[in-house]
Amino acid sequence: MTTPSPPPLALRILAKTLEYAGALLLFSMMLLTFVDVIARYFFSRSITGGFEITEIMLATLIFCGLPLVTLRDGHITVDLIEGWLPNGFRALRDRFVFLLVAVLLGYLGYQLWKKAGTFVEFNDQTAVLLIPLAPVCYAMAILTLISAVISLILSITGYRTGQSGMLQSDAGIQDD
């Protein structure tokens, strides 16, 4: 068995950046919810626009996680016929699936980018705090397109992510 090679530096930096951004967003959502509940309970007032801020942070958190899930091959899978497939076919299937995911994520990113353009055109904002929606949608599009590129790279190179989150080549995958 070959030792998995560490992921390229750019992917490690991207992963760490998204992990920290996600952690910060999650902590901020928790803190906002805590303060909002305390304010409602003790002062009979909630934080103005707290729901809108939570929605925006949640959307951003989800899309920060998408490249991480793609990089770590963590998308939901169903192993109905896994035991019947030969190893060589599995590697070919994995490459095809990564390519299909790249195409679908690319299309989704493109549609999100177009939607963000519509938000700019109509100056769409949240109802209470009047936060522009276009930057959030552009961020969602960019993170989706990053996921598509990661999936395309995994399809071309034949690399997979192991349980440790490290990239490994097809040669390093063993049938248990």
- Which of 88-92, 110-114, 145-149 comes out lowest in average pLDDT? 88-92
**pTM for the model:** 0.86
Domain residue ranges of the chain, discontinuous segments joined by +? 9-172
Percent of the chain with pLDDT over 90: 68
**What does DSSP assign to residue 49?**
T
In 3D space, the residue among 172, 173, 171, 169 whose CA is nearest the CA of residue 7 turns out to be 169
Tens-place pLDDT, residues 114-173? 999 999 999 999 999 999 999 999 999 999 999 999 999 999 988 765 544 444 444 343
Q: What is the mean pLDDT of the chain?
A: 88
Given this model, what pLDDT does residue 99 score? 96
Alpha-carbon span 43 to 41, nearest angstrom: 6
3-state secondary structure the chain: CCCCCCCCHHHHHHHHHHHHHHHHHHHHHHHHHHHHHHHHHHHCCCCCCHHHHHHHHHHHHHHHHHHHHHHCCCCCCCCCCHHHCCHHHHHHHHHHHHHHHHHHHHHHHHHHHHHHHHHHHHCCECCCCCCECHHHHHHHHHHHHHHHHHHHHHHHHCCEECCCCCEECHHHCCCC
Show the tokens assigned to 117: 């353009």
Given this model, what pLDDT does residue 79 score? 81
